[in-house]
Amino acid sequence: MASYNTSEFKSGLKIMMDGDPCAIVENEFVKPGKGQAFSRVRFRNLKTGRVIERTFKSGDSVEAADVMDSELQYLYSDGEMWHFMNPSSYEQVAADAAAVGDSARWLKEQDMCTVTLWNGAPLSVSPPNFVVLTITQTDPGVRGDTASGATKPATVETGAQIKVPLFVELGERVRIDTRTGEYVSRVK
Amino acid sequence: MNGTWQPTASIAVLRERARLLAATRAFFARHGVLEVTTPVLGRSGPRDVHLSLVEARFPGRQDATWYLQPSPESAMKRLLAAGSGPIFQIGPAFRAGERGVRHNPEFTMLEWYRPGFTLAQLADEVDALLGELLALAPARRVRYRDVFQAQVGLDPMSAANVELAAAAQRAGLRAHAPTDRDELLDLLFSHGVEPALGPGAVHVTQFPASQAAMARVADGVAQRLEVYLNGVELANGYEELTDAAEQRRRFDEQDAARAARALPRPPLDEELLAALEHGMPPGCGIALGMDRLVMLATGAHSIDEVIAFPLERA
């Protein structure tokens, strides 16, 4: 497996640390006037999400992690695994609940998602920043109430629960910001 | 930032930098210290294993490698041996492989020598200089052993290597096969002690004997002074080694260490040894990073903010 030297460390670099794939968040060069140079590195464990700090001697190397982001199309879920396909090669991969995580709330069939692959297997899934989903359940709003900022709960086709303005009706399509889980607008 | 033709330091900062340089010169003129200019190109360079020398060649003279000096120490000591009296210099210094928020491979060093001074007198002069340039109160003075013990919980003079290694491990510091005591001390000091030195100026003295190449060792302790400002290393001073034989021995030791690590081996600095053999007056010297001083004066977070064109734009 390829390796990186401390002189190549930079934000975003994917490395292996204690058996887990990690991404460097920050790399600081530390050197006393008369002494050994070090790299103080903060990196995110891509499996656990935790940020850890470690110090390396200048000139040390670490194993590179075979971590790649790819844009894959979400196909379907069988309850246990979520299936994605590369639209050009037609290759499929299956991601488990751990990899899919919270994005399961927003996955709509045929949407393109960013799937982070480690050694070819899904490590994490990011839905697109915005998704358009149909309201499958909500109480009727008060007619004409388009001005108040009040919201009501609603369920969308993926099963996710969101808050929408009172004028949004059952069967309407809405745009949601997946990063915040918030309603953005109605979509015709 | 816009086009890379532009400086990374603002004109306002460059003005403040100029003011500090002028004030420094005025300080030394007032104190009777002579300004000197010595070559940046040299036939040899320091053999410290942790220094990487920038090399230069003259076209057509492929036989000779010249070295860009990481500090003007060697030439200035030769001047001292020639009877110059107290001297100072502000000029470029070069260290390959050192690039970061507080490092640029080419930087500006203020270095001065005081024949006849004790380390305590040198510390007083540093206080006076920083007091004038930055309106700073005199530094808090601490001993290496005390601050190390307070932060790391071990006595750096007597703790076993395995104990130091364990402490490093606990602090999440990764030192490959840590059998090198100096490496462990460096690691623990720069990572554990320096950040805890606190705001204002701090002078650390009485370093372990192994931690100074050109300093006199007395009572098992290196006669060395480190100046920190707001936790950033600003200057490194010594009671200078004047014994030519001891200096030669250290140069040989360093050469062997470089050979063992397959590092480039610069030739022996015969001129400095000859000067020491002739006789250099006892006294102290100190090297201060001027760019760091400007950073601290202007509140800059990165050295790029105080240098017109750092390496990537040179």
pTM, full prediction: 0.80
Query: B61 CA to chain A: closest CA distance, Å?
Result: 31
Would the pLDDT of B217 be above 90? no
Q: Which residues of A touch B190 (CB under 8 A)?
A: 30-32, 35, 38
Residue B138 in tokens: 């005199």
In angstroms, the CA A13 to CA A125 distance is 19
Q: Which residues of A touch B103 (CB under 8 A)?
A: 29, 31
ipTM surpasses cut 0.85: no
Q: Domain total for chain A? A: 3
pLDDT at B195: 87
Would the pLDDT of B179 be above 80? no
Residue B270 in tokens: 């015969």
Residues A77 and A122 in one domain: yes
Residue from A18, A36, A40, A42 to probe the interface with B (highest B Cβ count within 10 Å):
A36
Mean pLDDT of B19-27: 98
Query: A107 CA to chain B: closest CA distance, Å?
Result: 39
Residues A119 and A76 in one domain: yes
Would the pLDDT of B214 be above 80? no
Q: Which residues of B touch A28 (CB under 8 A)?
A: 100-101
Secondary structure (DSSP) of chain B: ---TTS-SS-HHHHHHHHHHHHHHHHHHHHTTPEE----SEES-----TT---EEEEETTEEEEEEEE-SSSHHHHHHHHHTT--SEEEEEEEE-TT--BTTB-SEEEEEEEEEET--HHHHHHHHHHHHHHHH-PPPPEEEEHHHHHHHHHSS-TTT--HHHHHHHHHHTTB--SS---HHHHHHHHIIIIIGGGS-SSEEEEEEEEGGG-SSB-EETTEEEEEEEEETTEEEEEEEEBP--HHHHHHHHHHHHHHHHHTT---PPP-HHHHHHHHH----EEEEEEEHHHHHHHHHT-SSGGGTSSS-GGG-
Nearest residue of B to residue A42 by CA position? B172
Residues A116 and A93 in one domain: yes
Q: Is B250 on the interface with A (CB under 8 A)?
A: no
Residues A122 and A139 in one domain: no
Residue A69 in tokens: 């982001």
Q: Is A75 on the interface with B (CB under 8 A)?
A: no
In angstroms, the CA B278 to CA B257 distance is 28
**Percentage of chain B modeled with pLDDT above 70:** 96
Judge whether B69 and B40 are in contact, CB under 8 Å. yes
Would the pLDDT of B186 be above 90? no
In angstroms, the CA A148 to CA B139 distance is 62
pLDDT 10s digits, A96-122:
998 998 899 999 999 999 999 999 899
Q: Which residues of B touch A58 (CB under 8 A)?
A: 97
Q: Which of B98, B182, B226 is nearest residue A31 as measured by Cβ atoms?
A: B98
Q: Is A11 on the interface with B (CB under 8 A)?
A: no
For tokens 């290694």, the residue is: B165
Residues A158 and A117 in one domain: no
pLDDT at B275: 98
Secondary structure (DSSP) of B6-41: S-SS-HHHHHHHHHHHHHHHHHHHHTTPEE----SE
Q: Is B101 on the interface with A (CB under 8 A)?
A: yes
For tokens 């994605």, the residue is: A84
Which stretches in chain A have pLDDT values below 50? none
Range of the domain at A153: 130-187
In angstroms, the CA B206 to CA B114 distance is 19
Would the pLDDT of B92 be above 70? yes
Domain closes at, from A21, A43, A63: A63
Q: What is the CATH number of the domain that holds A108?
A: 2.40.50.140
For tokens 């991601």, the residue is: A95
Q: Which of A32, A35, A53 is nearest residue B172 as measured by Cβ atoms?
A: A53
In angstroms, the CA B119 to CA B229 distance is 18
Beta strands A173-177 and A130-138, pairing class = antiparallel
- The answer to whether the Cβ–Cβ distance between B172 and A36 falls below 8 Å is no
For chain B, list the domains and their CATH numbers: 11-139+200-313 (3.30.930.10)
Would the pLDDT of B1 be above 60? no
Q: In what order do the strands lie in the sheet with B54-58?
A: B41-42, B61-68, B54-58
Q: Is B223 on the interface with A (CB under 8 A)?
A: no
Q: Is A29 on the interface with B (CB under 8 A)?
A: yes
pLDDT 10s digits, B95-135:
998 999 999 999 999 999 999 999 999 999 999 999 999 99
- Residues 6 or more apart whose Cβ sits within 8 Å of residue A183: A151, A162, A163, A164, A165, A168, A174, A175, A176
In angstroms, the CA A117 to CA A66 distance is 8
The Cβ-side half-sphere exposure at A83, using a 13 Å CA radius, reads 8
pLDDT at A93: 94
In angstroms, the CA A37 to CA A30 distance is 6
Q: Which of B98, B182, B191 is nearest residue A55 as measured by Cβ atoms?
A: B191
Residues 112-151 of A with CB under 8 A from B: none
In sequence order, the β-bridge partners of residue A84 are A74, A93
Residues A180 and A157 in one domain: yes
pLDDT at A35: 80
Q: What is the CATH number of the domain that holds A17?
A: 2.30.30.30
Query: B60 CA to chain A: closest CA distance, Å?
Result: 32
Domain closes at, from A92, A107, A126: A126
Domain closes at, from A38, A63, A88: A63
In angstroms, the CA A130 to CA A182 distance is 10
**Which of B31-40, B186-195, B264-273 is predicted with the least confidence, judged by mean pLDDT?**
B186-195
A58-93: b (≥16 Cβ within 10 Å) or e: bebebebbebeeeebbbeebeeebbebeeeeeeeeb
Residues A137 and A108 in one domain: no
Residue from B102, B148, B187, B286 to probe the interface with A (highest A Cβ count within 10 Å):
B187
